[in-house]
Amino acid sequence: MQLNRRISVRPLKWRTPVIALGFGLLLTACNRQSQAPPAAVPEVATVTVSRQQVLLTTELPGRTSPFLIAEIRPQVNGLVLKRLFTEGSDVKSGQELYQIDPAPFQAALDNAQAALGRAEANLPAVKSRAERYRQALADKAVSQQDFDDASAALRQAQAEIAYYQAMLETARINLNYAHIVSPISGRIGTSTVTDGAIVTAYQAVALATIQQLDPIYVDVPQSTTELLRLQRRFKEGLINRAGTNSDEVQLLLPDGTKYELKGTLQFQDISVDPTTGSVTLRMVFPNPNRVLLPGMFVRAVVREGFDDKAIMVPQQVVSRDPKGNPVALIVDDAGIVQQRTLTLDRAIGSQWLVTSGLQPGDRVIAEGMQRVRPGATVKQVAFSETAASGTAPASESSAKGTSH
């Protein structure tokens, strides 16, 4: 029994130093953890806000339409003997397009000419008789009734001459109408009739259509709301049109490319379309190469004027709050981040035009917004264009390396 007690007591004497050593190591590790260095102040790139002069433009959708358009219709009844043009070709003003059989019109012309000759041949005899009766009436050789009959016969002969002259002119006009000519210069489309077709005067269906494409119109609707806003900004002096050449218009083609030639704003319609609430702006563009075709959808870039006190910021500095309002983070003089709610007018290139929320001299965070929150203290550096093009500044890259 004594031997067993000695063996059970010895291990307790060895365990006590080991346990004390473990507690000592644990306390040393806790002290080292409590003495860790403080977190580094985040670094951000900022843009300093300033006022600048900006040319304001508006893109409006529109549609092209021909400068001149003529629907070719016959003015007399007849048989089409020949079509004298190539479909889809350019024609000149006065060029003959169709030939209608002229035979009946030539016959009517000859008949009217013969009738006129007969009436003119009868006129001298009637005129002489009326003159003799006038002299005889003075000598009481004929009665008043005979003189009145002779005078009436003279007037009737003169009226017949005028009548046949009109018939002759009508026959000549109809004969000319047998030759259908182009009233304008332009490009002619497809023909709805062929040789041998019977046509009627002023029929509903046009024989062909000619459109003048150089120059060409562009009709653009502008909302009355936008029109009133623009007028109000002019009145308040927020836009200066001096030196803008405001009548000059740039055109964007359906594929987004710029049309090489610039146009001119011709006029603004005075009536509002009740279905759309807009007025029409008509512009004219040169079109020598026939790039613009009638009915094409385009976008016109209309110059509004210069904003001499515009505040512009890169689009990347603007974000949205949970309600969808545009906001930006700025750094004050104490290096504290603050949030500002903005009012945006429009995007111009890669920048936003800000109408309220920022003042000249404000430093807006352009890089590093994801690492800071309003109220945080930050270290700021100047924003560079390389950052805007997708390359992070050196300070940003080094901060990321440290975090890893």
The predicted structure's pLDDT at residue 230: 74
Closest CA to 69 of 226, 189, 193: 189
> What kind of fold does domain 56-66+214-307 have according to CATH?
Elongation Factor Tu (Ef-tu); domain 3 (2.40.30)
Calculate ∠ Cα 302-307-309, nearest 5°.
165
pLDDT in tens, 327-348: 999 998 888 989 999 988 888 8
Identify the weakest region by mean pLDDT among 11-20, 29-38, 297-306, 315-324: 11-20
How sure is the predictor about 256, in pLDDT bands with cuts at 50, 70 and 90? Answer: confident
Q: Is pLDDT at 398 greater than 50 in this prediction?
A: no
Closest CA to 239 of 248, 229, 247: 229
Q: Is 274 exposed, middle or buried (0-12, 13-18, 19+ CB in 10 A)?
A: exposed
Second CATH level (architecture) for the domain 44-53+309-403: Beta Barrel (2.40)
Q: What's the average model confidence in pLDDT over 136-162?
A: 84
- Determine contact, residues 43/395, Cβ cutoff 8 Å: yes
Task: Give the H or E element holding residue 288.
Answer: none
How sure is the predictor about 32, in pLDDT bands with cuts at 50, 70 and 90? Answer: low
Second CATH level (architecture) for the domain 103-174: Orthogonal Bundle (1.10)
Q: What's the average model confidence in pLDDT over 63-74?
A: 94
Long-range contacts of residues 99-107, Cβ cutoff 8 Å, at least 24 apart: 99/178, 99/179, 99/180, 100/74, 100/76, 100/177, 100/178, 100/179, 100/180, 100/199, 101/178, 102/175, 102/178, 102/179, 104/78, 105/76, 105/78, 105/171, 105/174, 105/175, 105/177, 105/178, 106/175
Domain spans in the chain, listed from the N-terminal domain onward: 44-53+309-403, 56-66+214-307, 74-101+178-205, 103-174
Percent of the chain at pLDDT exceeding 90: 37
Alpha-carbon gap, residue 22 to 383, rounded angstroms = 53
The predicted structure's pLDDT at residue 236: 63
> What kind of fold does domain 74-101+178-205 have according to CATH?
OB fold (Dihydrolipoamide Acetyltransferase, E2P) (2.40.50)
Alpha-carbon gap, residue 188 to 185, rounded angstroms = 9
Helices of type H across 278-393:
385-388
pLDDT in tens, 198-225: 999 999 999 999 999 999 999 998 888 8
Question: Three-state DSSP class for 58?
Answer: strand
The predicted structure's pLDDT at residue 42: 83
Closest CA to 197 of 81, 98, 97: 81
Alpha-carbon gap, residue 23 to 119, rounded angstroms = 146
